[in-house]
């Protein structure tokens, strides 16, 4: 039997010890359980990656042999391996453990689909959450926009999109007739450069430019080198302040701060040849629409980019157009040839900055005016 009204919290108040509080505590404890358990599982996975457990367990090993290989202690390693097995990341044969296909593809460094950068990015996000109290009392953590992207997000996105979003995006774009005859492509805020590289692989006559902040150059150039992308160049600049040229056949704008900016849309239209293709992938808000995800809104509020005005909801910037107004402006200068919902092209959410939520991909061809 639960008491109708819970007792006031007061150290002078004496309760009958048999009295149960109402509402029952399990409603609260279930929330604690969900969060603590998942956080601890995440710590186990991240530590196992960092210490090279999955590198060592490409071959079956006993816990003792694993400890020798990774220079760690057997007592905590036994339950760690048990937990990782429960999570589907290790399998056990007798006294030996070995990677499963899931850990072998995504958690070993030599794999092209290694997700270590995603883990690091999630951990960077925890740093901001650790400052929630300070943010609530003193305001958001100030970050340089260039450093924010350079500091792990771009690497994480590169790893994330290789799990499906890149392939689906490229297949859609490569199927469009405007792309098949294209000779030049501009990937604005292209970061890692993977879209430009993959699209050049689809069209042997295409040359591409990845345009991004100068801080991203080293990262992008390393990716270009890895993929032997001789037809892709990196050009540094700020897409709001700098000229990014004219005469392009394709402009790609994927998850950028300017994704809903009218000025940037007009600048892109000016940079494209008539008949040129604009591919844009962003999260839009309908006129009057509020939150899409409260947790992501809170994460959005934790940091402030210097000189950039953020709105109250995730990926909302000052001066953004809402969905209806953006479409109207787009259709003044373009004919839409394809739109896709995130479910058809995006990967699994990670509850972190970079999640697609209900983003849309729009492919539009510039009108001959
Ligand atoms: C969220 S990432 C998206 C990267 C890539 N387009 C993708 O979809 O995976 C945003 C990118 O835009 C770049 N960026 C943001 N603001 C920019 C600006 N004002 N000028 C140039 N690049 C910018 C960032 O450096 C980063 O590489």
The count of domains in the chain is: 2
- What mean pLDDT do residues 46-58 have? 98
Least Cα distance to 206 among 188, 180, 170, 168 occurs for 180
Query: What is the CA(28)–ligand 1 centre distance, in A?
Result: 40
Cis peptide before 23 (omega within 30 of 0): yes
* pLDDT for position 306: 85
**325 and 181 inside one domain:** yes
Query: What is the CA(358)–ligand 1 centre distance, in A?
Result: 19
**226 and 278 inside one domain:** yes
Distances in Å between the Cα of 41 and the Cα atoms of 35, 180, 335 are 10, 46, 48
**165 and 35 inside one domain:** no
* pLDDT for position 305: 86
Per-residue pLDDT of 201-231, as tens digits, reads 999 999 999 999 999 999 999 999 999 999 9
**Does residue 308 contact residue 317 with C-beta atoms inside 8 Å?**
yes
**71 and 197 inside one domain:** no
Q: How confident is the model at residue 358 (pLDDT cuts 50, 70, 90)?
A: very high
**Does residue 351 contact residue 260 with C-beta atoms inside 8 Å?**
no
**199 and 56 inside one domain:** no
* pLDDT for position 21: 93
Query: What is the CA(299)–ligand 1 centre distance, in A?
Result: 18
**79 and 169 inside one domain:** no
**Residue 5 above 90 pLDDT?**
no
Residues with CB under 6 A from ligand 1: 145, 149, 154, 157, 161, 189-191, 212-213, 216, 238-240, 254-257
The domain spanning residue 347 has which CATH number?
3.40.50.150
Per-residue pLDDT of 297-345, as tens digits, reads 999 999 998 888 999 999 999 999 999 999 999 999 999 999 999 999 9
Closest residue by Cα to atom 7, ligand 1, is 254
Query: What is the CA(255)–ligand 1 centre distance, in A?
Result: 7
Work out which ligand 1 atom sits closest to the CA atom of 216.
Answer: 25
**289 and 228 inside one domain:** yes
**Residue 138 above 70 pLDDT?**
yes
* pLDDT for position 1: 43
- Residue 205 placed within a domain: yes
**Does residue 266 contact residue 199 with C-beta atoms inside 8 Å?**
no
* pLDDT for position 187: 98
**354 and 298 inside one domain:** yes
**83 and 226 inside one domain:** no
Percent of the chain past pLDDT 90, that is, above it, reads: 91
Among 194, 256, 353, the mutation site with the greatest number of ligand 1 atoms within 8 A of its Cβ is 256
- Quote the distance between the C-alpha of residue 351 and its chain's center: 9
Name the pairing type of β-strands 334-341 and 360-366: antiparallel
* pLDDT for position 8: 58
Per-residue pLDDT of 72-89, as tens digits, reads 999 999 999 999 999 999
Work out which ligand 1 atom sits closest to the CA atom of 354.
Answer: 1
- Residue 179 placed within a domain: yes
**85 and 217 inside one domain:** no
* pLDDT for position 2: 46
Range of the domain at 273: 142-366
**Residue 6 above 80 pLDDT?**
no
Among 149, 239, 352, the mutation site with the greatest number of ligand 1 atoms within 8 A of its Cβ is 149
**178 and 81 inside one domain:** no
Q: What is the pTM of this model?
A: 0.93
Angle among Cα 279, 282, 287 to the nearest 5 degrees reads 120
Work out which ligand 1 atom sits closest to the CA atom of 187.
Answer: 6
Query: What is the CA(143)–ligand 1 centre distance, in A?
Result: 15
- Residue 282 placed within a domain: yes
Report the interhelical angle of 116-130 vs 294-302 (nearest 10°).
80
Report the interhelical angle of 154-161 vs 217-226 (nearest 10°).
30
Query: What is the CA(189)–ligand 1 centre distance, in A?
Result: 3
Closest residue by Cα to atom 11, ligand 1, is 189
Query: What is the CA(339)–ligand 1 centre distance, in A?
Result: 21
**157 and 89 inside one domain:** no
Closest residue by Cα to atom 16, ligand 1, is 257
């Amino acid at each position: 039997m639960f008491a109708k009204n819970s007792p006031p919290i007061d150290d002078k108040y004496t309760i009958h010890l048999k009295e149960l509080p109402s509402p029952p505590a399990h409603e609260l404890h279930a929330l604690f359980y969900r969060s603590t358990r998942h956080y601890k599982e995440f710590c186990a996975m991240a530590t196992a990656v960092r210490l090279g457990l999955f590198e060592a367990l490409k071959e079956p090993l006993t816990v003792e042999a694993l400890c020798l290989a990774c220079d760690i202690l057997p007592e905590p390693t036994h339950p760690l391996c048990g937990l990782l097995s429960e999570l589907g990341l290790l399998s056990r044969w007798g006294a030996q453990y070995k990677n499963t296909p899931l850990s072998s593809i995504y958690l070993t460094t030599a794999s092209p689909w290694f997700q270590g950068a995603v883990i690091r990015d999630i951990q960077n996000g925890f740093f901001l959450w650790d400052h929630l109290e300070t943010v609530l009392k003193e305001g958001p953590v100030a970050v340089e926009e260039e450093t924010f992207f350079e500091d792990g997000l771009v690497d994480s996105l590169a790893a994330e999109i290789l799990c499906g979003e890149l392939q689906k995006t490229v297949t859609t774009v490569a199927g469009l007739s405007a792309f098949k005859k294209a000779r030049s492509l501009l990937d604005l805020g292209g970061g890692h450069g993977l879209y430009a590289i993959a699209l050049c692989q689809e069209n042997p006559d295409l040359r591409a430019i990845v345009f991004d902040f100068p801080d991203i150059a080293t990262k992008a150039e390393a990716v270009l080198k890895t993929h032997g992308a001789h037809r892709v160049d990196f050009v540094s600049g700020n897409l709001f302040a700098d000229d990014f040229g004219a005469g392009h056949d394709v402009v790609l704008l994927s998850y950028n701060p300017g994704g809903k900016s009218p000025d940037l849309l007009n600048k892109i239209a000016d940079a494209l040849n008539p008949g040129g293709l604009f591919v844009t992938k962003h999260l839009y808000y309908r006129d009057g629409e509020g939150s899409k995800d409260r947790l992501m809104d809170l994460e959005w509020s934790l940091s402030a980019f210097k000189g950039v005005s953020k709105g109250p909801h995730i990926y909302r910037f000052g001066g953004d157009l809402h969905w209806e107004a953006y479409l109207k402006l787009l259709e003044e200068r373009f004919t839409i040839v394809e739109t896709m919902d995130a479910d058809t092209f995006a990967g699994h959410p990670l509850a972190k900055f970079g999640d697609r939520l209900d983003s849309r991909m729009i492919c539009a061809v510039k009108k001959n005016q």
